[in-house]
Structure 1
Amino acid sequence: MAIRASNVTLTLGSSEAPVHILRGVDLDVPYGKSVALLGPSGSGKSSLMAVLAGLERASGGTVQVDGLDFTKLDEDGLARARRGRIGIVLQAFHLLPTMTALENVAVPMELAGIDDPFGRAAAELEAVGLGHRLTHYPSQLSGGEQQRVAIARAMAAHPKIIFADEPTGNLDGITGAAIADLLFERRAELGSTLLMITHDPALAARCDRVISMQDGLVVDA
């Protein structure tokens, strides 16, 4: 399994006023499969993704990602585990405004010690249709182009697992459809596992499996 979560809980706040975000989630995702995560706002979707991606620590249960037990790793260990293994695409593009498209994709790989980061970044930007925009800054790019850069950044290290949280949420319908096509095409080419949060039933239907969450629990898998 690429992802295996067992009885995962997440509780925030104080001991006097705890807020139970995840209430015992069980989830298995095989390698190479695409899974859509649906549910109303506040159901725990983004929190679950953050735990599975190693961005948030579970309060209880076990989380295994690509064979690593994330519940036993400290913050530095989680950061190392993500490098080259996990790619993340968010609704907000989170590009650094002072870096070009090429630098936004290359620098994270350079910091992770991945070989030839700028060459790989240029190739990935070419793959997402932005080979002619390498030296442009985010302010010079449209929303769709910025999300293409974000996808290139997530894919450039050829991760085994891609997490996408509302990847088309900030885009108009036509641009969003093109970005969805690109995300699925690149995932298929790399053979990566995809876990995607979306409110779009049509987008969810393109995945191998659809999972629904409510009140911090998986209610339909």
Structure 2
Amino acid sequence: MSSADMVITARDVRLTLGGAEPVEILRGIDLDVAAGESVALLGASGSGKSSLMAVLSGLERATAGEVRVAGMDFGALDEDALAVARRGRIGIVLQAFHLLPTMSARENVAVPMELAGMADAMARAEAELAAVGLSHRLDHYPAQLSGGEQQRVAIARALAPRPGIVFADEPTGNLDGATGARIIDLLFERRAASGASLVIITHDPALAARCDRTLRLADGRLA
């Protein structure tokens, strides 16, 4: 594939955190992800998986190297511009659901679309919640939902704007095995429907095997 087919391109990406005694988290990552591709990131705790996802999704700024996502040079954008760049283009599903406690399920899904200026945000939120089996929970608040239901809301929120890229960081880490399996089926089903690229962090080899490609991180480097 040519570079034009890549939705994510990272070259010699480095991340160093800390002050007097800095710690090198990422140590020269080179990575390409093609449009529509699913990629699993495996690695032990502390290997740099979540940090790499944060850099690729624009939540963290690389210390050095080049990160281009959806045709944009993330290194050239300030924090506000990165936030704008993510809207509608990048969906993120985190292990901690990060739902707004004072908003209903419908509002949690609709608000990011409203911020991105998308039309019919409430109607689209209802449709996406129905797609994840929560049409009977539209007006429930996060505290009234089970862990699995909250994660389904988080998936609906990430995918409702039809982003070209979806990042998922241990999306079933807080769920029991049966619920986690259903959530993974749902994530792949909804991602396939939208044709998005998927980058998923996991410790689960069976989940990684469902992806087109598996990459392993060790000590801040791709093995």
TM-score above 0.5, yes or no: yes
Partner of 1:183: 187
- Please tell me whether residue 192 in structure 1 is matched to residue 191 in structure 2: no
- Please tell me whether residue 7 in structure 1 is matched to residue 12 in structure 2: yes
Alignment of 1:151-170 (within 5 A): 151-170=155-174
C-alpha displacement of 1:111: 1.7
Partner of 2:140: 136
Partner of 2:79: 75
Moved over 6 A (4+): none
Partner of 2:222: 218
C-alpha displacement of 1:17: 1.2
Partner of 2:104: 100
> Once the two structures are superposed, what CA deviation does each residue of 1:155-194 show, in whole Å capped at 9, x if it has no partner?
0100000000000110000000000000000000000000
- Residue identity in the other structure for 1:46: S
Question: Which whole-Å CA distance do the structure 1 matches of 2:170 and 2:18 have between them?
Answer: 26
Stretch of structure 1 that moved more, 163-172 or 112-121 = 112-121
Alignment of 1:197-208 (within 5 A): 197-208=201-212
Partner of 2:23: 19
Q: How many residues align?
A: 218
Partner of 1:59: 63
C-alpha displacement of 1:101: 0.3
Secondary structure in 2 matching 1:61: strand
Question: Which whole-Å CA distance do the structure 2 matches of 1:111 and 1:193 have between them?
Answer: 23
Secondary structure in 2 matching 1:175: helix
Question: Which whole-Å CA distance do the structure 1 matches of 2:84 and 2:115 have between them?
Answer: 11
Alignment of 1:103-114 (within 5 A): 103-114=107-118
C-alpha displacement of 1:110: 1.0
Question: Which whole-Å CA distance do the structure 1 matches of 2:115 and 2:63 have between them?
Answer: 30
Secondary structure in 2 matching 1:20: strand
Partner of 2:38: 34
- Please tell me whether residue 120 in structure 1 is matched to residue 124 in structure 2: yes
C-alpha displacement of 1:53: 0.2
Is contact 2:87-2:112 (8 Å) kept? Answer: no
- Please tell me whether residue 146 in structure 1 is matched to residue 150 in structure 2: yes
Question: Which whole-Å CA distance do the structure 2 matches of 1:76 and 1:138 have between them?
Answer: 28
Question: Which whole-Å CA distance do the structure 2 matches of 1:196 and 1:210 have between them?
Answer: 10
Structure 1: segments with no counterpart, 5+ residues? none
Partner of 1:90: 94
Question: Which whole-Å CA distance do the structure 2 matches of 1:128 and 1:175 have between them?
Answer: 13
Secondary structure in 1 matching 2:200: strand
Secondary structure in 1 matching 2:124: helix
C-alpha displacement of 1:113: 1.3
Question: Which whole-Å CA distance do the structure 2 matches of 1:174 and 1:71 have between them?
Answer: 40
Secondary structure in 1 matching 2:137: coil
